[in-house]
Amino acid sequence: MRDRHFIWYLNDRLQTPQPERVRLQKRGVTTCCKSTRGEPRPVTDSHLQSCSTNRKIFHNTIRHELFKMCNAANLVVSVEKRGLVPGTRMKPADVYIDCWSADEGFSACAIDVVTTDAESNLTEHTQPSVRRQRENISGIQARSADQRKRRKKLEGLAGAPTMQESLQAREIKFVPFAVEGTGAFGPAVRPFIKQVSQEAKNNGSTCSASDFRRGWELRISMCIANGGCTAALDRVSKLWS
Ligand SMILES: [Zn+2]
């Protein structure tokens, strides 16, 4: 039991206080970064895992795993493709599949990775019932991140269509790949992995579509679990020094 990631993960699952965080607080480190309103955020177990200073690394780890999955399915993929929304610099596709035949009416697929945590947007004024709900039901934030991405309007244009509509008009399917720090997937994630698994089979993969799907769901889940622990431990050591 020396692996710090594993110990962090176990404490997180069991909801027992993280010894690393307790040691930090004993040393007098009680706040982390500042909120948008400039208030220092208290060092809590969940904050350490979701601190925005590490969110980019967490996001990119998932993006990389997703890229590898599409590659393993022999799909033509690229990362952060430019020029998908003409006239803007927006890059709605973290991962872009050039040739998509799994859905009728679409010829390409833009996947937007969005990471969230179960306690995001909670403040000290949040009602206890809302807080309990977030702690006990996993996936609420992943679902709302999915909706937010789908409804997002193109910036700077009056009466603008949503990102999803704009892409759809050019036969590009939009997939918000929302994952939550708890490990929960957003509603679009499993159906998408299932489609990719079928594509893998169609493209000559030697394993069955269901083996492909199970294997990659597991890899992505491990990636989320490990990514959360890495982010937290990285935060702990930065605050310690
Ligand atoms: Zn922080």
DSSP output for 31-91: EEEE-TTSPEEE--HHHHHH-GGGHHHHHHHHHHHHHHHHHHTT--EEES-S-SSTTS---
What is the rounded CA–CA span in Å between residue 100 and residue 113? 18
For residue 174, being part of any structural domain is answered with yes
63-72, 146-155, 167-176: lowest mean pLDDT where?
Answer: 146-155
Ligand 1 centre distance from Cα of residue 36 (Å): 11
For residue 80, being part of any structural domain is answered with yes
For residue 43, being part of any structural domain is answered with no
What is the rounded CA–CA span in Å between residue 49 and residue 120? 11
Going 21 to 25 to 27 to 32, the CA torsion angle's sign is positive
**pLDDT, tens digit, 9 for 90 and up, residues 76-92:** 999 988 888 887 788 88
- The pLDDT-based confidence of 236 (bands split at 50, 70, 90) is very high
> Token pair of 238, please?
């930065």
How far from chain centre, in Å, is Cα 233? 18
Query: Scanning the structure block, which residue is given the tokens 């709605």?
Result: 92
On the question of pLDDT at 26 being above 60, the answer is: yes
CA angle 133–63–221, rounded 5-degree value: 50
- The pLDDT-based confidence of 187 (bands split at 50, 70, 90) is very high
Q: How far is CA 35 from CA 38, 51, 120, 221, in A?
A: 5, 10, 12, 29
On the question of pLDDT at 157 being above 70, the answer is: no
Ion ligand 1: residues, CB < 5 A: 32-33, 51
Q: Are 95 and 25 in contact (CB under 8 A)?
A: no
The pTM (predicted TM-score) of the whole model is 0.86
- More confidently predicted of 135 and 97: 97
For residue 31, being part of any structural domain is answered with no
- The pLDDT-based confidence of 179 (bands split at 50, 70, 90) is very high
Q: Are 111 and 181 in contact (CB under 8 A)?
A: no
For residue 233, being part of any structural domain is answered with no
**Quick count: other Cβ atoms within 10 Å of Cβ 138?**
15
What is the rounded CA–CA span in Å between residue 42 and residue 22? 13
What is the rounded CA–CA span in Å between residue 139 and residue 136? 10
On the question of pLDDT at 162 being above 80, the answer is: yes
Ligand 1 centre distance from Cα of residue 37 (Å): 13
Ligand 1 centre distance from Cα of residue 52 (Å): 6
**Quick count: other Cβ atoms within 10 Å of Cβ 131?**
13
Ligand 1 centre distance from Cα of residue 24 (Å): 14
Q: What is the mean pLDDT of the chain?
A: 88
Ligand 1 centre distance from Cα of residue 29 (Å): 12
What is the rounded CA–CA span in Å between residue 180 and residue 189? 11
Number of structural domains the chain divides into: 1
**Quick count: other Cβ atoms within 10 Å of Cβ 126?**
12
**pLDDT, tens digit, 9 for 90 and up, residues 192-235:** 999 999 999 999 988 999 999 999 999 999 999 998 899 899 99
- Identity of residue 214: R
For residue 62, being part of any structural domain is answered with yes
What residues make up the domain containing 99? 55-227
Ligand 1 centre distance from Cα of residue 60 (Å): 18
Ligand 1 centre distance from Cα of residue 17 (Å): 18
Ligand 1 centre distance from Cα of residue 51 (Å): 4
On the question of pLDDT at 128 being above 80, the answer is: no
Above pLDDT 90, what percent of the chain? Answer: 55
For residue 132, being part of any structural domain is answered with yes
Secondary element (H or E) of residue 194: helix 189-202
**DSSP structure class, residue 157:** -
For residue 205, being part of any structural domain is answered with yes
Ligand 1 centre distance from Cα of residue 96 (Å): 31
Tell me, what's the pLDDT at 134?
A: 63
What is the rounded CA–CA span in Å between residue 131 and residue 46? 13
